[in-house]
């Protein structure tokens, strides 16, 4: 086990490092940045948590004896009641969620079109550009709808973009250097969203309660069976959250 005591590690970068069970004592983490970090089971004592910005999955998180997860969920749903509709339980609920997303994304795309095209390829604070965000949503649809539900073992378009932490997988594209136009990516999005609507509009209580057939071949998700409702909720969550990210970054690009 490596031990760092009194060492100056300022500015160090840890990528795909395994720090499971690591201990931090009297350690300065001021202005540290954490992206795609698994912090399940982390225990913090005697910490100073001020001016901190956290965005992620908050569940069973206790601060000073208070589980803050339900409080955060309630506040986010209060701010935007449509958010709660992204967790539907019926075929009609899934169709309503898709209708909501279509309207919201139409507004976001219209906002993006008002910017110079080159800014849509620009990253804000190390996050995906607007174009890359749309490419990632294509990957999510291909993975959870065309692969998991419809059974296509290799459904990915060359412009699809997996999340950065996904290991390189044979047959799954990951071209961060591609610079497609907004119209090119939107045409691909429309094609994939048509497939989503066909699946959702054809849902019945029985099909929604069913499990998928395991698909064979390398890729994502892994070749096992999944509840259909889980696959659909993944897509809804991806669409909802990444639109929020896009709106956040578009506001910064507009300020330029």
| Per-residue confidence (pLDDT) for residue 35, from 0 to 100 | 85
Instruction: Look at residue 242 and tell me whether its pLDDT is greater than 90.
Output: yes
44 and 138 assigned to the same domain: no
Q: How far apart (Å, rounded) are the C-alpha atoms in residues 182 and 179?
A: 9
Condensed to tens digits (0 to 9), the pLDDT of residues 121-140 reads 999 998 999 999 999 999 99
12 and 113 assigned to the same domain: no
Number of domains in the chain: 2
Are 159 and 191 in contact by the 8 Å Cβ rule? The answer is no
pLDDT band (50, 70, 90) for residue 166: confident
96 and 81 assigned to the same domain: no
CA distances from 186 to 159, 223, 254 (A): 11, 29, 21
| Per-residue confidence (pLDDT) for residue 190, from 0 to 100 | 97
Round the average pLDDT of the chain to a whole number and report it. 94
Q: Which residues are paired to 62 by β-bridges?
A: 67
Average pLDDT for residues 200-215, to the nearest whole number? 97
50 and 118 assigned to the same domain: no
Instruction: Look at residue 167 and tell me whether its pLDDT is greater than 80.
Output: yes
135 and 164 assigned to the same domain: yes
Are 136 and 144 in contact by the 8 Å Cβ rule? The answer is no
Q: Is this structure's pTM higher than 0.85?
A: yes
110 and 67 assigned to the same domain: no
Which percentage of the chain shows pLDDT scores above 70? 100
102 and 44 assigned to the same domain: no
211 and 241 assigned to the same domain: yes
Q: Phi and psi at residue 136, in whole multiples of 5°? A: -65, -40
Condensed to tens digits (0 to 9), the pLDDT of residues 42-90 reads 998 999 889 989 988 889 999 999 999 999 999 999 999 999 999 999 9
Q: What single string gives the DSSP state of each residue in 11-44?
A: T---SS---TT---SS---TT---SS---TT---
Are 117 and 179 in contact by the 8 Å Cβ rule? The answer is no
Structural domain that includes position 16: 1-86
Are 145 and 195 in contact by the 8 Å Cβ rule? The answer is yes
């Amino acid at each position: 086990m490596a031990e760092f005591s009194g060492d100056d590690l300022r500015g160090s970068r840890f990528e795909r490092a395994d720090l499971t069970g690591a201990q931090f004592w009297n350690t300065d983490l001021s202005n540290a940045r954490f992206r795609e970090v698994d912090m399940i089971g982390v225990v913090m004592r005697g910490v100073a948590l001020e001016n901190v910005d956290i965005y992620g999955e908050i569940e069973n998180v206790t601060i000073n004896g208070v589980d803050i997860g339900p409080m955060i969920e309630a506040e986010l749903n209060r701010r935007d009641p449509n958010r709660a509709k992204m967790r539907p339980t019926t075929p009609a609920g899934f169709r309503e969620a898709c209708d909501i997303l279509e309207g919201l994304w139409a507004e976001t795309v219209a906002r993006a079109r008002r910017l110079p095209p080159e800014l849509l390829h620009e990253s804000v604070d190390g996050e995906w550009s607007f174009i890359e965000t749309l490419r990632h949503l294509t990957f999510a649809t291909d993975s959870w709808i065309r692969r998991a539900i419809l059974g296509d073992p290799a459904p990915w378009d060359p412009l699809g973009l997996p999340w950065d932490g996904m290991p390189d997988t044979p047959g799954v594209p990951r071209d961060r250097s591609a610079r497609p136009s907004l119209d090119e990516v939107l045409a691909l999005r429309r094609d994939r969203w048509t497939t989503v609507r066909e699946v959702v509009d054809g849902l019945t209580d029985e099909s929604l309660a069913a499990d998928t057939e395991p698909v064979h071949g390398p890729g994502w998700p892994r070749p096992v069976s999944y509840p259909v409702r889980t696959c659909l909720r993944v897509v809804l969550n991806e669409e909802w959250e990444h639109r929020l990210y896009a709106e956040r970054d578009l506001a910064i690009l507009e300020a330029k």
